[in-house]
Structure 1
């Protein structure tokens, strides 16, 4: 799996999602980047790469969306609206981290979640000039 990508088009995002889909299967992934950087678009194409052509939307208001695909469960969190770790506990966030699923977490950097997780990856999206996205994977 490459660690850096330059995404000039939405098709590039789709290709990246396809390329890394099975490398990140059943892992916890923090999706970092400002609003509009491409986190939800990436999730849409990851769900598609896992075999489900379903409507994918940001879980900003629902907080969590689940996608049962032919290649396993994808759980997508958006923690943007949450203010405290207590709220994470109230929505069952920490229990969900134990599920056998690919777990994508937007805005994980608002909290100190990594202290509860032994293994995770970070995919960071940065908007550059001409609407290009620079993506790094750690």
Structure 2
């Protein structure tokens, strides 16, 4: 059963708070980031990585497909599959080597383009644009009811 939590994002500070929250509740596994071009997937990723202690630029790996980060002993891999023509391209680029990393965190933008070659998500973040250009709607989805509850509890504690 899929469990979800939908949140209004009215400012960049909200994006940062929700990224911090996810980083506090989810430290290894697979995250899917779904949203239209310009929705804020890479912006969310930047704040998410900063929550773990990353300093410096976070660029969208649109052309490189993957951007690896080693932060405080943790391996985090940010994939952007937008430019893939065929999911098999991931096999050719050696995705299995990345996926064999123990206790790693994987973020996949445009996961539908990796169909059959990437692992299923532990949590999905759907980012929807709204009529207000600055606002967004975030929906966290997971088969884990407990993970969604942890996110909600963390947000409630920070109010």
Could you state the TM-score of these two structures normalised by the residue count of structure 2? 0.78
Q: Is the 8 A contact 1:5 1:136 kept in 2?
A: yes
Equivalent positions of 1:1-138 (< 5 A) are 3-70=5-72, 72-100=74-102, 101-113=104-116, 117=119, 120-131=122-133, 132-138=135-141
Structure 1 runs of 4+ aligned residues shifted over 4 Å read none
What are the superposed Cα offsets for residues 76-122 of structure 1, whole Å, 9 maximum, x if unpaired? Answer: 00000011121011111233223231100000022424x86355221
Q: Is the 8 A contact 1:51 1:71 kept in 2?
A: no
SS of the equivalent of 2:132 reads: helix
SS of the equivalent of 1:130 reads: coil
Post-superposition shift, 1:129? 1.2
RMSD (Å) for aligned C-alpha atoms: 1.8
The alignment of Structure 1 onto Structure 2 pairs a total of residues equal to 136
Could you state the TM-score of these two structures normalised by the residue count of structure 1? 0.89
- Corresponding residue of 2:155: none
